Amino acid sequence: MTSPDTESTQAEKEELDALAALPDEQIDTSDIPERPERTNSVRGLFHKSASERSKAIDELRSKHPEKARAIWTRGSDWSAEVCEQARLDDLDPNALVKAREQFVIKHPVQADEVEEWDDATFLNKARVLRQGAVTNTALLLLGRPESSVLLSPMVAKISWVLKDDQNRELDYEHIGPPFLLAGDRLLKRVRNLTVRALPSGTLFPQEITQYAPWVIREALHNSIAHQDYRLRGRIVVVEFPDRILLTNVGDFLPGDVETVIQQDAPQAIYRNPFLADAMVELNLIDTQGGGIKRMFDTQRKRFFALPDYDLTQTNSVAVSIHGRILDERYTRLLMERTDLNLSQVMLLDQMQKGMRISREDHRSLKASGLVEGRYPNLMVAELIAKVTDDTDRYLIERGFDKQYYLDMILTLIREHGPVSRKEIDQALISELPDRLTDEQKKIRVRNLIQELRLSDLIVNQGSRAQPAWVLTEAHPKRKLSKENESEKE
């Protein structure tokens, strides 16, 4: 006799066999819970060997990065989920008033209608609720401060920390929901000082604040929209004397900032699409792809360094907004050359921060007359230095031509020879460009000495360890050789 358990098991096996025979598109998987830990899984790969899986995943990543990210991030949208314990009473009245104002700014033609809508109707129209039910998005953007417990174990918190130039903590504040009002609270905390003038010029007479409030808001709202709340981290804003650093958890889905700026188009993927849509309706972000580019343009027009995105850490996006002038020459360049495109400005910005640009980019900037110097030790071009009245500094940075230094060595040897390598270093190193490191300066001197030696202009009458350089005609052996040649003639 067959037991009920055996019959049940056999029935389940037959059902599974029938499902396995169906095409993928006919199988309903909507009621299968998401498995966030399988973020690197790809359908059809797990049955393969480890080496085959790794090869297939690497191929997918390299050939189709956007599709790969879409696969790894596909699943339920946490921001769209309904919070069963939450009610409309859990939403902050002040945030609701602000939300209506922002909605009207975004949709001015609906201003009269908005006044007639009750809260539920308005929030449905603003895509914050789902058929009248309170979502996680509603609690994030509009929830009362105490409502954040309803989102637990997910974290809804923005931490502002003030630090001095020694990285010592001076003050802090934790900001919870409603995030719709978080920008105002943060800006009240940030010490936005006034920069009055460049130290040595009249090209920058106007007063200007360290930060454009819109740039700080945009960076914060981007962090809120793209935060991976499933990772249970917080958004951190650290204010230093010269910059603001904003960090949120979650990978940067577009891949890199340059691509976002060049495409200037909506992103293909959003981690929290429901939240992003609601923030668009409430005039907090722009999904047309122009937010980050506008941040760069705003900093450029203020003649400050461009934002820096650090994407090197896994599950982390950090952006630094600079609040001071890093290099006077580049600031003046931006003021003089308003015709430069954003790509050129981004390259010049990298140079002023001491970052290396590619040889191809160097050639492009050099062809436009924007930089000078031997790659990778680049600097502002002479034409621009003259325009900005920075010729003295330019000469210190660039140095003189090679013949100038060769003549210096020959004069030193002629007047004080024999001379040691140390004596040559002492005479030349202080004259070499400031943009070179001490090690690079020593290499430059060594190359100059070797060039004179190979040209038969100087000779070492000492040892390799303790050289003593003299002019060739002053060396005894060379004199004797020339006399023998004369006798033969």
Given this model, what pLDDT does residue 361 score? 86
93: preceding bond cis by omega (within 30 degrees): no
Query: Which uninterrupted H or E stretch holds 130?
Result: strand 129-130
CATH fold of 81-324 reads Heat Shock Protein 90 (3.30.565)
Question: Is the pLDDT score of 271 beyond 70?
Answer: yes
Q: Report yes or no: 129 and 135 within 8 Å, Cβ to Cβ.
A: yes
Query: Which uninterrupted H or E stretch holds 318?
Result: strand 316-322
Higher pLDDT, 73 or 447: 447
Mean local confidence (pLDDT), 170-176: 96
| CB-based contacts of 471, cutoff 8 Å, min separation 6 | 410, 413, 414, 417, 457, 458, 459
Give strand pairing partners of 24. Answer: none
CATH of segment(s) 402-488: 1.10.10.10
For 288-318, what is each residue's pLDDT tens digit? Answer: 557 888 999 999 888 889 999 999 888 899 9
Q: Which long-range contacts (CB under 8 A, 24 or more apart) does 433-439 make?
A: 433/373, 433/377, 433/396, 433/397, 433/398, 433/399, 434/396, 434/397, 435/373, 435/377, 435/379, 435/397, 435/398, 436/377
Given this model, what pLDDT does residue 389 score? 47
Please give the distance of CA 301 from its chain centroid, rounded to a whole number: 19
For 106-157, what is each residue's pLDDT tens digit? Answer: 999 999 999 999 999 999 999 999 999 999 999 999 999 999 999 999 999 9
| CB-based contacts of 474, cutoff 8 Å, min separation 6 | 417
Statement: the pTM of the whole predicted model exceeds 0.85: no
418: preceding bond cis by omega (within 30 degrees): yes
- Mean pLDDT (the chain, rounded): 80
**Helices then strands, each counted (H, E), the chain:** 21, 14
Helices 402-416 and 421-428 sit at what angle, rounded to 10 degrees? 130
Q: Quick one: pLDDT band at residue 234, thresholds 50, 70, 90?
A: very high
Report the alpha-carbon distance of residue 389 to residue 392 in Å, rounded.
8
**Nearest CA-CA partner of 300 in 338, 328, 265, 262:** 338
| Token pair of 281 as six digits | 């309706």
Listed in sequence order, the DSSP H helices in 126-181 are: 136-142
Q: Report yes or no: 435 and 397 within 8 Å, Cβ to Cβ.
A: yes
Given this model, what pLDDT does residue 73 score? 52
Q: What is the percent of the chain with per-residue pLDDT over 70, rounded to a whole number?
A: 74
| Token pair of 471 as six digits | 């002019």
**Nearest CA-CA partner of 185 in 229, 224, 155:** 224
Given this model, what pLDDT does residue 200 score? 45
Given this model, what pLDDT does residue 37 score? 44
SS3 383: helix
Higher pLDDT, 210 or 373: 210
